[in-house]
């Protein structure tokens, strides 16, 4: 009886020791599953890592250095801006959107003038920026300026010191500086 039981136990043990039959593509299927799940897992881990609050220890000197660096970048950007480089606003506008500019001819008939300049919102009120050319011996002075749609204030400067509003245009009510300006409203091309 005891021998029979020992024999039964020995058979069961032998059966249990044997390796079970496995599918030949089991390894490939497991690795494919692992690869499929590893990508979102990585992103999730990264997202969790960047959202996790951390305590930073920065010395006052390092904080000042960082601030000075940022301030330097701001200043450098300002130094490299077109306005600081002295690019005229009109030419900048022309470079950006040439199709949106309308050529506007300014004319002054003044036989007694020796020189006429145009100053206004479009040229920084710079007396030397836009001189008028004498178109005829009868004292017809003119200049053509490309302008974007909008309303502009301007005036003529005759002989370098006499400021006169355009006799053919309305004058502004905002006479802040004691010398009247003319106004022109420019429509865009095809609008």
Partner 1 sequence: MKARLATLVAVALLVGAASLSAQDPRLVERLDAATAAEIATIVASARTAGLPVEPLVDRALEGASKGAAGSRIVAAVRALAQELAVARLALGAGASEGEVTAGAGALRSGADPATLTRLRAARQGGVLTVPLGVLADLIARGVPTDVATGAVLDLARSHASDAEFVALGRNVERDILAGAPPAVAAAVRARGMPSTLPPSSPSTAAAATGDKGTTTQGQPPRRRP
Residue 188 sits in the site that holds partner 1 (CB under 8 A)? yes
Spacing of C-alpha 104 from chain mean position: 29
Tell me which residues in 40-99 interact with partner 1 (CB under 8 A).
Answer: 58, 60-61, 63-64, 66-68, 70-72, 74-75, 77-78, 83-84, 86, 89
Instruction: Compute the distance between CA of residue 163 and CA of residue 166 in angstroms, rounded to an integer.
Output: 10
Size of the site for partner 1 (CB under 8 A): 67
Neighbours of 96 (CB within 10 A): 11
Out of 41, 82, 150, 160, the only residue in the binding site for partner 1 (CB under 8 A) is 150
- Closest distance to partner 1 from the beta carbon of 39 (Å): 40
- Nearer Cβ to partner 1, position 104 or 131? 104
Closest alpha carbon to 186 in 118, 121, 95, 116: 121
Residue 111 sits in the site that holds partner 1 (CB under 8 A)? yes
**All residues at 6 or more sequence positions from 33 whose CB lies less than 8 Å from its CB, including other chains:** none
């Amino acid at each position: 009886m005891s021998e029979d039981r020992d024999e039964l136990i020995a058979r069961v043990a032998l059966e249990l020791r044997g390796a079970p039959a496995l599918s030949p593509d089991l390894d490939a299927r497991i690795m494919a599953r692992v690869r499929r799940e590893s990508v979102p897992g990585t992103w999730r881990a990264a997202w969790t890592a960047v959202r996790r609050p951390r305590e930073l220890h920065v010395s006052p000197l390092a904080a000042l250095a960082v601030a000075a660096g940022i301030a330097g970048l701001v200043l450098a950007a300002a130094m490299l801006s077109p306005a600081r480089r002295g690019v005229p606003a009109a030419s900048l506008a022309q470079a950006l959107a040439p199709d949106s500019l309308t050529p506007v001819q300014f004319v002054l008939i003044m036989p007694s003038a020796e020189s006429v300049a145009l100053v206004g919102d479009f040229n920084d009120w710079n007396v030397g920026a836009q001189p008028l050319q004498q178109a005829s011996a009868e004292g017809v002075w003119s200049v053509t300026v490309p302008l974007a749609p909008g309303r502009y204030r301007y005036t003529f400067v005759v002989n370098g010191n006499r400021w006169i509003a355009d006799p053919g245009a309305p004058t502004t009510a905002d006479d802040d500086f004691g010398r009247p300006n003319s106004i022109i409203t420019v429509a865009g091309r095809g609008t």
